[in-house]
Structure 1
């Protein structure tokens, strides 16, 4: 009897989780459904979570209208460079804050963390003036540079470095290695899960970056995919199927990257919380 009760409880828990997952996925499922139903009234009640029939006409038409290869290439270049720079600068900044003992270390870290309360929109004007003063407007670097250093990433990497035993650094010192070599060859491999978390979060942020590229890029052929999708909204707002299809195409790479890095993502998040 107890076994039957346990099975029933597990079944109810899993059923509740499935219902909750479907509820959370509802908007995305509706978007996919709309993208597969061209020529239909998408704003119905109740919304069509699952398509009544499957037709890829929206995907074919929007792919023919937009130069997706160019926009996807732009997004890949921006995302990869942004991820690499963010990981490099975050790890380079977090390492001394976690390992070195110097006067004012905690004050510097507190000052960095306190900047997280400033809204991102508040820095748009300052970032624009800085990019213009550097003379790099209308370049990929103008899109990447303001996001090259993130306080949250520094905090995450600091917690990860704190969790690494100091004996590893001491062993490198005994072998005569420089501090940079210890950081690069000994400490960095020990914090791979946290690096994977930063890589995933920054990749998602760069891939979905919409407003900032429009501000700093005058040449629309350099737009990333998220910004380029605004062309559909501006000229073909009546054809929501095209907008839905373009949005689904832009989301697919993020889903693929997350599936390959979800193990490291969970390990990195749990390590940061423990640290």
Structure 2
């Protein structure tokens, strides 16, 4: 996803591209990628040219200067010392047009002006700026139902913008519904089943196994629970062992048989099942 900012300079027409790099690891990583993009542009340009460009009203150049002073970056001809006050001034000059400025400024002022910070971040996310969407989807904590619902909302938008993130997000959405007070089992089961069916998410398999084992949101069913614990692999090994103590040998065997049928149907095999070794074990599974 590129955001293009053309402007005229002394040497001709230059186009600055600020690239929003996608990541599913942490809020901090999204900010790091924003820094990398701005630093690359700064390294390739003279500061006077960027300052002149900013004075002419370019939001892109003000964003670059804001980032340079916020992180202490180097231009082609000069290194900048960190100065939050100057960084904030440049970011404020570019808020209307620059989603990147809104996103980064929200980080700078978050502790002192949390409401203003949230408004800036939400504004950028509403215009589908991916780093802002990601940060709202992945808050530092999920202590209240309101925060949980908001996280779910933005995770769904994130998946719409970048479908490949669905391999992680569907199972997480299901787990967030389980954290609700009281738990929302209907929506949790829907998203956990999607994560399992569409992504073969082993953590989702573990979570849904627990629901069947305890009879929460579904009728208690040890055999189905055992099947999902087996599909969860090492993530469900301890719970599977404890559950087996409550089951007959016939029930355990039925649970294993259902697990193997599922693996055959989906061509996704777990260690310990014969087809895993027949098809090359971990090497085949990864490829």
TM-score tier after normalising by the smaller chain length: under 0.3
The structure carrying a bigger helix percent of its residues is 1
The structure carrying a bigger strand percent of its residues is 2
TM-score normalised to structure 2 length:
0.24
Which has the greater radius of gyration? Answer: 2
TM-score normalised to structure 1 length:
0.25
Which is bigger in relative contact order (C-alpha 8 A, separation at least 6)?
1
